[in-house]
Structure 1
Amino acid sequence: MQWKQMPLGPLQTNCYILWNTTNDCLVIDPGGEGEKLIQWLENHSLSPLAILLTHAHFDHIGAVDQMRDHFSIPVYVHEKEAQWLLDPSLNGSQLFMMGELIRLKPADYILTNEKNLKIGDFQLQLFETPGHSPGSISYYVQECGIVLAGDTLFMGSIGRSDLPGGNQKELLASIHDKLLTLPEDTTVLPGHGPETSIEAEMDSNPFLNGF
């Protein structure tokens, strides 16, 4: 399995594409610039099976409907943020986008609990990692040793918890109880910035001192 990081949208949010030997792929957090993303997928002859969201803030969902309509694929989101797709006051676009409100169609699949998620030949382990937002999810792909952590954990930092529904104590517990229990050589693919590893963040992340 291969993956690509593609920063997109107003905050250069990391969209990730995972694909396998049959050229099926998953798209995680298409935050904007839908035409650019569609063109890249078609240039590489990749066939998306689904859109997975780590959470539903505006900078992670901007190209969702464009992707969904173009490829006729379903969207997955956590139940606690299902309404965020429809409501600019919840997804943050009303506050941050200066008039560019994001109102999407409802998600096709509502994720409710931690589970193993199978989409085509892809196997992902779903972790509930709230704190940055109440419905934040991390997706662990054991086969290739990666965790798609959204805005929970970054290189040398952690997600902000001062937005509506955020909670720093919950965020630190999510990182400690879910992410730091993964193998230390697991690659962390964050929602913004460069990739890192569980080992590197355990050793040097100043926000995790004391864990």
Structure 2
Amino acid sequence: MIWERLPLGPLQTNCYIIKNERKECLIFDPGGDGDRLLKLLRSRQYTPLAILLTHAHFDHIGAVDVIREAYKIPLYIHKNEEKWLEDPSLNGSQFFMMGSLTKVKSADRILTDESSLTIGSFNLEVMRTPGHSPGSLSFYIKDNDIVIAGDTLFQGSIGRTDLPGGNHEELLNSIHTHLLSLPENTLVLPGHGHETSVEEEMDQNPFLNGF
């Protein structure tokens, strides 16, 4: 299984494409530039199986409908943010996009409690990691030692908590309870910036010291 990082949309949000040897893939957080993403998928001859969202802020969902309609695949999101997809006041586009509102059609699969999720040959552990937003999720792929963490944990930083539904204490608890409990060699794929590792953030992240 191989992963690709593709920064997309107005805030260059990291979209991740996780593929297997048959070129089937999962798409995480397609934040914008739908035509560009579609062109890449077609040029690589990938077969997308699903779109999964770490959360529903506008910069993570902008290309959802373009890809979903092109491939007729389901969209997964946590129940706490299912209404955010169609509401610019919740997904933030009303406040940040200067008149360009982001609306996405309803999700096909609603995730609730933490669970294991199998899509084709992909096995994922779905972890609830609220704090940046109330429905934030992280997706751990044990077989490949990676976790798609959205805007929960970054290289040398953590997610902001000053947006609606954010909670700083809850965010720190999510990071320590779930992300930092993973094996230290786990690669963390964040929503913005470069990848890091559990070990690196345990040792060097100044926001996590003294928690």
Aligned to 1:29: 29
Question: Does residue 1:155 correspond to 2:155, yes or no?
Answer: yes
Supply the RMSD in Å over aligned alpha carbons.
0.5
Distance 1:38 1:143 in 2: 27
When normalised by structure 1's length, the TM-score is 0.99
Distance 1:200 1:23 in 2: 31
CA shift at 1:23, angstroms? 0.8
1:85 alignment partner, SS class: helix
Aligned to 1:130: 130
Aligned to 1:68: 68
Aligned to 1:168: 168
When normalised by structure 2's length, the TM-score is 0.99
Aligned to 1:110: 110
The one-character-per-residue Cα deviations of 1:66-119 (angstroms, maximum 9, x if unpaired) are 111111111000000000001000000001001111111100000000000000
The one-letter amino acid paired with 1:170 is E
Distance 1:26 1:103 in 2: 22
Aligned to 1:58: 58
Distance 2:86 2:66 in 1: 15
The one-letter amino acid paired with 2:165 is G
Aligned to 1:192: 192
- Segments of 4+ in structure 1 off by > 6 A? none
Distance 1:69 1:97 in 2: 24
Aligned to 1:86: 86
Distance 2:155 2:101 in 1: 30
Distance 2:190 2:35 in 1: 23
Distance 1:110 1:151 in 2: 20
Aligned to 1:45: 45
2:207 alignment partner, SS class: helix
CA shift at 1:137, angstroms? 0.1
The one-character-per-residue Cα deviations of 1:3-48 (angstroms, maximum 9, x if unpaired) are 0000000000000000001110000000000111111111111000
The one-character-per-residue Cα deviations of 1:143-200 (angstroms, maximum 9, x if unpaired) are 1100000000000000000000000000000000000000000000000000000000
1:207 alignment partner, SS class: coil
Distance 1:110 1:137 in 2: 12
Aligned to 1:77: 77
2:56 alignment partner, SS class: coil
The one-letter amino acid paired with 2:152 is T
2:26 alignment partner, SS class: strand
CA shift at 1:121, angstroms? 0.6
